Amino acid sequence: MSFSRNAAFRRILSPLVLAAVAGTATVAWQAPAAAQKKEKPAPAPKANYSKEFIAAYKPVETQAAAAGVDFATLKPSVPTLVAAAKTPDDQAAAGRMIYNIGAKTKDQALQLQGSEMVLASGKADATATGQFSYVAAQLAFIAKDYAKARTYAEGAIKAGYTENSPELLISESYFSENQNAQGLKYLGDAIAARKAAGQPVPEAWVKRALANAYNAKMVAEANQWAMIYARDFPSQSSWGDAISIAINNGNYAAPEMLDLLRLARKTNTMRTRGQYLEYIDAADPRKLPNEVLQVLDAGTAAKQIDPSIAAVK
């Protein structure tokens, strides 16, 4: 496990979310088709677009649909669309178009502006609300507006959005503000809620909490998360991390160090030459010669100990 800052939330938008949202960016201006049979559901209410907005929007829509269009040429139309958007339906359509222009030109500020307009319109259904909320959270995070990122990520969760772990983005926003204790508490509460609901906990959540606590030199918290990691996701890697962190964070007398290193040996997670030598020293060849010889043999086999070294012999 690498204890370095997770850069996952500094990337450009998740392709899954981006594709889902961008696909809704074009607005059709015809009225919904009438139901042909009684058993079909009633058509959605006709959208209420203002005349002023239709006049401003249609030329942009036509340009956007043209083959080989350079979306950068549509950027000057954004202020006009915003000014003309009076009704909630206007705002939703403008927001989707602005988002699409931003996505096509890799302009994250426009993508965020468009996402916020769609959400503010109140015209997005639950699925779109979740998607746009998470996209807005990512964009706000990239812009280092961490409070806004949290607000939108919480909105995504409320809308039932479960992809890409918005909870992890929220905790990461706290970590990015050096609010490490708050981030760990949020992540711990989110994990507890998942467990209480009988839902699986992503391993990445626990690893992120552990890495942050370790990097922030929060000794008690790092030890706690290391044990949670080894307990909930037992593996050679998790046990090795837990034991290494305990050793690095502690100032143990020989008996306690011997217990830790015995656990490392039992879980096959002895990693360094220093651990083998520490084990030999804690065991004391005069008291436990057979165990020391076994550790020497294991260290030699692992190419961590040179048996010819006089100090080891």
- Name the amino acid, one letter, at 59: P
> What is the dihedral sign for C-alpha 181, 187, 190, 196?
negative
- 248: pLDDT confidence band, cut at 50, 70 and 90? confident
Percent of the chain beyond pLDDT 70? 83
Percent of the chain beyond pLDDT 90? 75
* 7 has pLDDT over 60: no
| Average pLDDT of every residue of the chain | 86
The arithmetic mean of pLDDT across residues 246-275, rounded, is 90
Helix axes 15-22, 88-105, angle to 10 degrees: 130
Q: What's residue 1's pLDDT?
A: 54
Domain boundaries, the chain: 1-27+49-163
Please tell me the distance from the alpha carbon of residue 135 to that of residue 95, in angstroms, as a whole number. 13
Q: How many CB atoms lie within 10 A of CB 138?
A: 29
This prediction has a pTM of 0.77
Please tell me the distance from the alpha carbon of residue 174 to that of residue 6, in angstroms, as a whole number. 13
Q: Are 98 and 113 in contact (CB under 8 A)?
A: yes
Distances (CA, A) of 144 to 4, 41, 178: 19, 44, 13
- 92: pLDDT confidence band, cut at 50, 70 and 90? very high
Question: Out of 3.30.1890, 1.25.40, 3.30.450, 1.10.3470, which CATH number does the structure's domain 1-27+49-163 have?
Answer: 1.25.40
The label of the residue with tokens 């500020």 reads 109
Q: What's residue 251's pLDDT?
A: 82
**Radius of gyration of the chain measured on its C-alpha atoms:** 28
